[in-house]
Amino acid sequence: MRHSNKSKKILALFLVLMFGFVIFLAVMLYTALHNRDIPSIYSEDSAKAQRGSIISADGFHIATTQKLYKAVVNTRNIDPDKEELFIQLFSIYSGTEPSEIRERLHTRKGSVTLSYHISPKEAMYLKTLAFELRRLGVFIEYETPSGDRVLQGLNILESGEARQYPYGNLLTPLLGYPRKIEEDGYTRVYGIKGLEKFFDEELNPQQNKTQKALRDVNGYLILNKQSQAKRQINGLTVKLNIPIMLQSRIETITDQIKNQLQADEIIATVMESKTGKIVALASSNRFDPSHIRTTDYPSLNTNAIEYSFEPGSVVKPIIFALLLDRGLINPYDMVNGHNGRFTMGRKTIVDEHAFSMISAEDVIVHSSNIGIAQLAQKLNGAEFTEGLKRFGFTHFSGIDLPYEKRGSIPSSTQLNNYLYKAITSYGYGMRSNAMQMIKAYNVFNNGGRLINPMVVEALYDDNGRTIPMQIQAPIQVISPATAARMKQILIKTVNEGTGTAAKTPGLEIGGKTGTAHIAKNGAYVNSYHTSFIGFANDAKHSYTIGIAVIEPRTVYFASITAVPVFKAIVDLMVEEKYLIPNPSTVTEMSVMPQEPTHP
């Protein structure tokens, strides 16, 4: 009996031991197979790459990117007796009103974001504050339902980026503007208009910085051959051909004359004739890209390329050059001026100044609609259409800006009709933008060669490596001899014709005025576009300059709206040493400008 009880006790002990061993094995198996949260011996560090800058030709940063930070605090960590101290100190360091901080702290228990738009300098100060608040005991631990004790306090975290425009509305709308997009809790900037849009891909950051490596006891990375790292590759820097001083002073000119004329807008462009570099592209209608208001909406477009219109008499030299290049006319041929009134079919063409007979070149000098309408009949429809296209009409100008409107011209079939030829010859029935006109006129000041206008000089990476812009080879549109003859006719137009107010002693100045009715709701109204396109040259420099005045209200003739803008810009360029007048050149005093002819 005693032996039987002893056996039972041994069996029971054995079973207990076996049960314990089975539990031990099960726990070990669970531990081996189950994912465990164990302290990592590796640490990671990362930094967001930034959008590139836009800088002027003289090195000023016109558009830059600033990192933004947010301040997050766990309200459970704030000692209730020291809450007001926290509020006052955070207000001083961040510039946020105490009432706003107090309101946010009481919206909920737990993690609260006090500010989303903290600059790098403020972030540095707030990180120092966070350390001091811990030291002063403003933050206390709290216990979670699971029994863990937590002390988070104030954290300053990278939240995104903001685009900065240190010079306000300078260079807008050419510069354009961006918009913000949230990506995984981080605010990124993308271009919407202007240069910001056209070079958006190049400006955007290429690669964020990441590092993964062993950590030491203090949590710092130990960088060695086993470390994993990707370097930060920021967006490219876009450098313009436009110097900031010249641009800003031309913008001031457009502002002043816009007010005098009560015009809707004045657009002024200055281009190096030999290279196509745009050294100024100014509009009187600008905005601050950082603070766009509803009233700014009409100014957001780059109207030098996004606004097309019937150009009027500035087209006459283009038609004349096509005729001259084909040998269809001689500048000294005589044309019947019909004493200022001439009927073609159902259309009566009128000149502001009556002529009985006039030389072919004086048709341009004195802007005769009747004269050019008759000369244009020598071109057939295909020659007319193809000629305008060769000068760049209906094609994109090639400028490095988005959303250009190409304009339109009548078809070859339409231009076989004598009336279409007549109307188009003095700039109606077709549409172009201001940049297309400047590109076309530049042919006369560049040996008959057509080149693309360029706003940007080059792109640069963080290492200073230059990525030059692709430049299209010049296209010979008319012969050098034709271009030289047209240049002399445009100089005569300034010396004797409709552009006399543009004369500048010691410089070679040529150009042509244009005054065109505006069509609204299918009918021409008593409103106008006026323009003057020409060139200004000295012994070493040559520039093509275009002025467009949209709906001037006090006066409408181009000679007293667009020409004074041209003249003011040339005078400025002389003052700033872009042009050096020849002191030995003696120029007679100009006569009072005549009013240009217009339909």
3-state secondary structure 397-450: CCCCCCCCCCCECCCCCHHHCHHHHHHHHCCCCCEEEHHHHHHHHHHHHCCCEE
Nearest to 178 by CA among 161, 157, 158: 161
Residue 595 has pLDDT above 50, yes or no: no
Assess contact for 471 and 505: CB atoms under 8 A.
no
Note the pLDDT tens digit of each residue in 66-103: 988 888 998 888 888 888 998 898 888 888 899 998 98
Return the sign of the alpha-carbon dihedral for residues 485, 489, 491, 496: positive
Note the pLDDT tens digit of each residue in 176-234: 999 988 887 788 999 999 999 999 999 999 887 666 666 554 445 556 666 666 777 89
pTM for this predicted structure: 0.83
Nearest to 78 by CA among 149, 143, 137: 137
Domains, the chain, with CATH or none: 53-208 (3.90.1310.10), 244-287+306-457+481-575 (3.40.710.10)
Which one-letter amino acid corresponds to residue 375? Answer: L
Note the pLDDT tens digit of each residue in 376-424: 999 999 999 999 999 999 999 999 999 999 999 999 999 999 999 999 9
CA distance 222 to 220: 7
pLDDT value at position 146?
Answer: 77
Q: For the chain, how many helices (H) and strands (E)?
A: 16, 28
